[in-house]
Amino acid sequence: MEWTVKSRTLRSIWRTLVSMLTRKGVATRARILDAAGELIAQNGAAETSLDDVRVATGTSKSQLFHYFPEGKAQLLLAAAEEQARKVLDDQRPLLDHLDTWEAWHQWQQLILDMYAPKIEYCHLAALTSQFPKNDPQIGALISGLFGQWQERLAHGLGNMQARGLLDPNTDTERLAVAVLAAIQGGVAIGQATKSLTPLEIALQAALDHLHTHETVPA
């Protein structure tokens, strides 16, 4: 009992200080964010009106501005952050342990399986091609995503060097960028041609390129 009371009190303080959102509130906010992300991924940010979001979520204008007081720009940024987070999260935990060739090939397969159902509306394509690139905040977000992604890939490659699986003289950062570019390019071309094949090919070529620097542990 006392524990419950304490919990309630803390919760109250937390709400007051941090976000002032009740359980129902966060649910509604999440609903708006999800629908916005979906709509934007399909139709683009410019073609997605707040009314579209409103209808899709069964909410009202006032709620949109209640949860995103700065309006559409804030909603867009929040939706973009969500997409960026998903791009990396969808690859975990594999992404954080690319320490063996086996792991790389599992990851390759994961990427393909992940994007197979709807390459046109995948999180990466949505982020890089449906959001307004000119918004400096969104631009920074995308740039940051690529940075983190590259770091994860390079980190795995570094571990492989330590294990003697990869030529210690190769620049892991460069290799990571090459792999990243292959994915991004494959997705972009695949989005345009509505086909998964370009991504398959590009990713396979990138992996082949990695194997070029393979070594056997002593």
Partner DNA sequence: CCTAACCTGGACTGTGAGGTCCATTCCTTT
Partner DNA sequence: AAAGGAATGGACCTCACAGTCCAGGTTAGG
Smallest gap from Cβ 211 to DNA, in A, equals 48
The partner in contact with residue 16, picked from DNA, a copy of itself, none with C-beta cut-offs of 5 to 8 angstroms by kind, is DNA
Does 98 bind a copy of itself (CB under 8 A)? Our answer is no
Task: Identify residue 61 by its one-letter amino acid code.
Answer: K
| CA dist., res. 132 & res. 123, Å (int) | 15
Any idea what DSSP says for residue 45?
Answer: S
| CA dist., res. 162 & res. 172, Å (int) | 12
Burial class, 177, CB count within 10 angstroms (exposed 0-12 / middle 13-18 / buried 19+): middle
Instruction: Name the residue nearer to DNA (CB basis): 44 or 158.
Output: 44
Smallest gap from Cβ 54 to DNA, in A, equals 8
Under rule CB under 8 A, which residues in 3-62 are in contact with a copy of itself? 42-47
Say if residues 113 and 94 touch (Cβ distance below 8 Å): no
Say if residues 138 and 80 touch (Cβ distance below 8 Å): yes
| CA dist., res. 206 & res. 138, Å (int) | 28
Strand pairing partners for 166?
Answer: 214
| CA dist., res. 104 & res. 95, Å (int) | 9
The partner in contact with residue 191, picked from DNA, a copy of itself, none with C-beta cut-offs of 5 to 8 angstroms by kind, is a copy of itself
Instruction: Name the residue nearer to a copy of itself (CB basis): 78 or 203.
Output: 203
Smallest gap from Cβ 131 to DNA, in A, equals 14
Where does this chain touch a copy of itself (CB under 8 A) — which range of 17-25, 51-59, 162-170, 179-187?
Answer: 179-187
Contacts of 93 (CB under 8 A, 6+ apart): none
Instruction: Name the residue nearer to a copy of itself (CB basis): 63 or 202.
Output: 202
Say if residues 157 and 176 touch (Cβ distance below 8 Å): yes
Please report how many Cα atoms fall inside a 13 Å half-sphere around the Cα of residue 126, on the Cβ side.
27
Does 172 bind a copy of itself (CB under 8 A)? Our answer is no
Residues interacting with DNA, by CB under 7 A? 5, 8-9, 11-12, 15-16, 20-26, 28, 48-51, 58-63, 65-66, 71-73
Instruction: Name the residue nearer to a copy of itself (CB basis): 21 or 114.
Output: 114
The partner in contact with residue 158, picked from DNA, a copy of itself, none with C-beta cut-offs of 5 to 8 angstroms by kind, is none
Does 184 bind a copy of itself (CB under 8 A)? Our answer is yes
Does 148 bind a copy of itself (CB under 8 A)? Our answer is no
Does 159 bind a copy of itself (CB under 8 A)? Our answer is no
